[in-house]
């Protein structure tokens, strides 16, 4: 895909249901560790779009160290979550802090 995005990045960005995320992770868990051209892991995409807590939790289960991964601009998933203030902000931050 343009920008180096994988299907998991796209699913996280466009609010795919958790079942779709689970299918993608089951097919290849290692995709949770692959950044796009901007340095975004799927967890960054999920935080940016305000994905459900279930989606964030499943991505973090696949790659817990993603919470420490910075984008090319230096943003952690936590930084993105705090900055954008989606409705699930509190639960997303709690999940991210659990993985630290």
pLDDT level of residue 100 (50, 70, 90 thresholds): confident
Is the CA virtual torsion 53, 21, 97, 72 positive or negative?
negative
Find the Cα–Cα–Cα–Cα dihedral 20, 81, 9, 76, rounded to 10°. -130
Is the CA virtual torsion 46, 47, 49, 50 positive or negative?
positive
| DSSP letter string, 27-59 | H-GGGGG---TTS--HHHHHHHHT--HHHHHHH
Considering the chain, what is the average pLDDT of its residues?
96
Stretch 25-43: mean pLDDT, rounded? 97
Residues contacting 19, CB < 8 A, separation 6+: none
pLDDT digits (tens, 9 = 90+) for 46-85: 999 999 999 999 999 999 999 999 999 999 999 999 999 8
Q: Residue 2 has what pLDDT?
A: 75
**pTM of full prediction above 0.85:** yes
As a whole-number percent, the residues of the chain with pLDDT over 90 amount to: 95
DSSP 3-state of 97: helix
């Amino acid at each position: 895909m343009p920008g180096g995005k994988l299907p998991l990045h796209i699913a996280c960005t466009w609010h795919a249901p958790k079942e779709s995320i689970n299918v993608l992770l089951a097919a290849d868990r290692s995709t949770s560790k692959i950044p796009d051209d901007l340095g975004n892991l799927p967890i960054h995409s999920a935080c940016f779009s305000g994905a459900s807590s279930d989606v964030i939790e499943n991505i973090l289960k696949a790659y817990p160290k993603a919470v420490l991964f910075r984008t090319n601009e230096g943003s952690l998933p936590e930084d993105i979550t705090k900055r954008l203030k989606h409705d699930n902000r509190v639960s997303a931050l709690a999940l991210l802090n659990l993985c630290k």
